[in-house]
Structures are given as C-alpha cells and as structure tokens.
Amino acid sequence: MLQSCPSSAKNLCRKLVRVLPPTLNKATATTRPVCDVFINHRGIDTKRTIAGLLHDHLFRLGLRPFLDSQSMKPGDRLFGKIDPAIRNCKLGVAIFSPNYCDSYFCLQELALLMENKKRVIPIFCDVKPSQLRVMDYGTRSAEELGRFKWALEEAKYTVGLTFDTLTGDWPEFLNSATKAILNNLVELGASNPSKNRTYILQGRK
C-alpha cells in the first residue's frame, strides 16, 4: 500500500537534514531524543491501521516515531518508557478514535503532551471532535478529570486532519499526514535550532 516518499516529502526531509549540526559523530548521536514523534492512539481502534502505518511511513523516512507496540519490549514498564518519550519528543500526533476517551492511558499521554507544552497534531479518525468527551465513571479523581478534560479541549481546538477508514483514500491520507508532521518538525527546528534538531541521516528501506 505504501509507495515511495513523494517529492514534496523528500524536499521536507532535505530541510530537516539542514537543521543538523555541522558534524554528527557517535558521541553526538547518543544525544538523540528517545523519539522525534510520539504517536498517541487507542490500540484497539488504530494500531493495525492508521497508527501502525503512520509509524512505518515515518520510520522509512529516517525519523524516530514512538509507538508502544514497536518501541517497547516485554518487561518494559509502561510509564518508564512512555514518560521520557513524551518529555523528549519534538512533536505529538494524537489519533482520536471512537474508543479513545475510554482509555486512561490515552488521556494520560495526551495530558502529559500538553503539560510538557508539546505541539500536537490531532487526527480525527472515524470520529468528530464534538463526539469526544471525558466521561466520569467514578474511578477518576476530580483532579485527573480536570487534567484530561483540559488536555482534550486543547487538542480539539487545534487544527488537525480527519479521516474515514471506510471511504478515505489511504495513500493520500498517509502522505498528507506525513507532510503535516514534516512541516511542523521543520518549523520547530527553525524556531529553535539549538534545541529542536531532527536527526534524519537517510531514508530507511
């Protein structure tokens, strides 16, 4: 399904390469972030579709996307890996889906992204922003509910992408999402080159 990276994305990749430091040796490579792009998603809805395909698309371009099923191994503590990835990533992608708000982990990750002032690109997959609500099932504290509602509202009022998995054009969507991610990384790198370096050496095959 995935084709080679279109010319527009290749041009964006070249721009990202230009925000590299003049030299990149083994010593500097070890300072790379845990991930460039953190993919926040509800596994039962999107892991085998949008989240998984987007992760592979970004990985093939040489980025370091974080997706729990790909970036973690048996025995890893969830927040021991996820929290540092969120704190050190450059960009978050929140894939909202019908069952997203039922997940404590999805909302917790989203709240951490917002609290760490990360730029987040929302993707509304088979769901409208107005349909997303944090529900009180009596298992969450008032403080947690407040955090989750605030984070969700912040994301809902951010310009994002929409996609219908039944009728949408998959290649077109993946290319559009990738272009949006690369554009944001270029912008972040240009606004603060000393902190926002994206290490793309070459595309992976």
143 is catalytic: no
Contact 1, 170 (CB under 8 A): yes
Count of CB atoms within 10 A of residue 125's CB? 24
Which of 27, 11, 51, 67 has the alpha carbon at shortest distance from 186? 11
Rounded distance, CA 75 to CA 97, Å?
A: 28
Which of 110, 71, 85, 93 has the alpha carbon at shortest distance from 35? 85
* Strand-pair partners of 123: 95, 161
* Helix or strand run (H / E) with residue 201: none
Choose the catalytic residue: 109, 143, 154, 187: 109
List active site positions: 109
